[in-house]
A and B are shown apart, each in its own frame.
Chain A
Amino acid sequence: MSTTPAIELTGATKRFRTPSGALHTAVRDLDLTVAQGEFVAVVGPTGCGKSTTLTLVSGLEEPTEGEVRVYGEPVSGIDPKVGFVFQQDAVFPWRTVLSNVMAGPRFRGVPAAEAKERARDWLGRVGLAAFEDRYPHQLSGGMRKRVALAQTFVNDPAILLMDEPFSALDVQTRALMSDQLLELWAGTSSSRGAASVVFVTHDLDEAIALADRVVVMTAGPATVKEIFTVDLPRPRSVEAVRLEPRFVELYREIWASLGEEVRITRERGAGRAA
C-alpha cells in the first residue's frame, strides 16, 4: 500500500449564492487529510457545512477556493472510486431491491449477468437476499438503508462518504446498522485494502464507536477545530464499546470541544430569532 493519502483537502472553501442573493460561506479554509483505509468521523453542530465537505470530495460540487485531492489527483467531476451514502432515502423507488443494487455496475457498463451476481452477493451480505423482488416502499427504513449500503458497496468504492446515513433510523436499528457497517467495511479489505471512510454525523456516540479519528468542526462556516484519535481496539461492537472507560473519557474530551461550537450555533439561532 502506498502512502499517498486517500483524501486531501487544502484550504478548501465553498461559497453559495443563497436564493436571496447573499453570499453564504458553507466551508472555510478547510484542511483535512484521510489516510488510506482510515475511518474518519466528522462531527459538528447542525447546519455547519459538514455535508458540503462531502460533496466537495465526491466531485458533486467544486470548491470555490483551495484544492481537493483523491489519491493525489485533483478532483474534477465524479470519481468512480467514490461511494456515497445519503442522509435521505436515495434508492430508486421504481426499481426492485435487486435492480437497485445492480444499478451501479450497470451504469458502469458491467454485463447484466455479472451485475446480478455481484448484487446478489451484496444483498446476501446485508441480509436482504429474500427481499430482492420487493420494491423499496415495501421495506422498512432500516432495510432501505441496507439496500443503500449494498448499492454503494457493490461498486467496491475505495473511498466511502457517508452523510448522516443512519440519522433517520430508530436507536436500536441504528446500533445494528453501525455494527453491520463496521463488518462490511472490514470485509472490503480483502480486495485492495480497506476503504477510507468519511462519516458525517451529529451523534458523538456513533462517531467515537465507529471511527479511528474524530474531526470536530467549528460552527458554520465549517473548518477543522480539533482532531481526536480514537485508540479503542478493533474489531468493535458498537453496544459494547460504549461501556468502556476509555470511551467515556474520549467522549468527555471531545464533547468539551464540540459542546462549545454547539453553544455558539444555538446562540446564533437565538439571536436570529430575537
Chain B
Amino acid sequence: MPLETASAVAGKPPAVTTRTEARERAARNRKLGVYGARGVVLVAFLGLWEVCARTDVIDPFNFSQPSKIWDQIWQWITHGTAQGSLGEQIGYTLYEALTGWVIGVIGGVLLGIALGRIRFLADVFGPYIKVLNAIPRIVLAPIFLIWFGLGPASKVASAVVLVFFPVFFNAFQGAREVDRNLVANARILGADNRKVTLQVVIPAATTWIFTSLHVSFGFALIGAIVGEYIGATKGLGLLVAAAQGTFNAAGVYAAMTILAVVALLTEGLLTFAEKKLFRWKPADAGDGR
C-alpha cells in the first residue's frame, strides 16, 4: 500500500494535487464563512440590544441588557448566588433532570417495548395511557410539590412524567414497526420469543428510542426548572424565581443563558453517544429513508 501511494504521488502531475488542494481550501473557506456569519449575527443581535437599552429605545429595567446580564453571570461565578455557589445550583438542577430523565427513559422504554410486543397489554392499557397523555402534565408540578416537598424528589417526579410519554410512545411504535421479515428470519433461525425481543425488537427500536431521547432530555430540564420555580431550596429555577421576585431582569436572563449552555452541552454528549451506538447505520440514514 505505501508503495502504491508513493508511486501515485510521484507519477501524477502536480496539477491534480493543486486541484484537490483548491477544493479543500474552498471547503475550508466555506466553513469559515458560515462560522463568521454566525458570529456576525450574534454580535449584531447583542449589539442592537445593548444599544437600544442604552439609548432607552427599550426599557432596560424590563428588558435588561447584555452587559448587565454578563455582569450578573460574572458576579454569580465569582461571589456565588444568594442560595449558594452557582456550581451548586447547576449541580442540583442537573441532578434532578438527569435522575428524572433516567427513570422516565427506563420506564418508557420498558413499558413501550412490553406493550409493543404483547398485544393483550396494549389493548388493556392503551386507553389509560392516552388519557394520561392528554393531561397537561406540567400542572402536576404543584401536586408533586405537595406530595414530595421542597427537595429534589418533587422535581424528579415532574421530570419523569414529562420524559416518560414521548419515550414510551416512540419505544412502542419502534417495537410495533419492526420489519416483519427480520422477526420471521430470527424465528426460523431458532430464536424464541425472548431472544426475538432482546436481539431483534430492541435493536430495531433503538433508532426510534434515540430520537425521543434528544427531545426528552429537554423535557427533563423543563420539568426540573418548573419544579424549582414553583418551590425549591436550590437550583437554577429558584434563581429565576428569586431574580423575578426582586425585579432583577438581568438575573432571569442570566439564569436562562446558563440553562441554555447546560442543555447544549448535554445534547452534544447525547449525539456523541448516538454516533458510537449506530455505527451499523449508513452515514446518511438521517435524511435518507
Contact = CB atoms under 8 A, between A and B. Distances in A.
Contacts of B195: 107
B280 A86 contact: no
Contacts of B186: 92, 103, 107
Interface residues of B, number: 22
Nearest to B181: A90
A164 B228 CA distance: 61
A104 B182 contact: no
A151 B280 contact: no
Nearest to B195: A107
A104 B181 contact: no
A107 B279 contact: no
A151 B184 contact: no
Given A86-B184, A135-B279, A92 B203 contact: yes
B279 A60 contact: no
Contact of B184 (A90, A92, A104, A136): A90
Given A92-B200, A94-B280, A107 B181 contact: no
A155 B185 contact: no
Contact of A155 (B181, B189, B279): B189
A102 B192 CA distance: 16
Given A84-B184, A86-B181, A92-B203, A151 B281 contact: no
Interface stretch (A8-16, A75-83, A189-197): A75-83
B13 interface: no
A195 to B, nearest CB: 14
A179 interface: no
Given A80-B190, A92-B200, A108-B190, A86 B185 contact: yes
B134 interface: no
B280 A95 contact: yes
Nearest to A92: B182
A229 interface: no
Contacts of A86: 181, 184-185
A137 B281 contact: yes
Contacts of B192: 107
A124 interface: no
Interface string A101-139: 001100110000000000000000000000000011100
B188 interface: yes
B38 interface: no
B203 A60 contact: no
Contact of B282 (A58, A137, A151): A137
B3 to A, nearest CB: 21
B202 to A, nearest CB: 10
B76 to A, nearest CB: 45
Interface in B106-122: none
The 7 closest A-B pairs by CB, nearest first: A90-B185, A107-B190, A104-B189, A108-B190, A90-B181, A107-B191, A94-B280
Given A92-B186, A94-B204, A152-B189, 6 more contacts: A80-B190, A86-B185, A94-B280, A103-B186, A137-B281, A137-B282
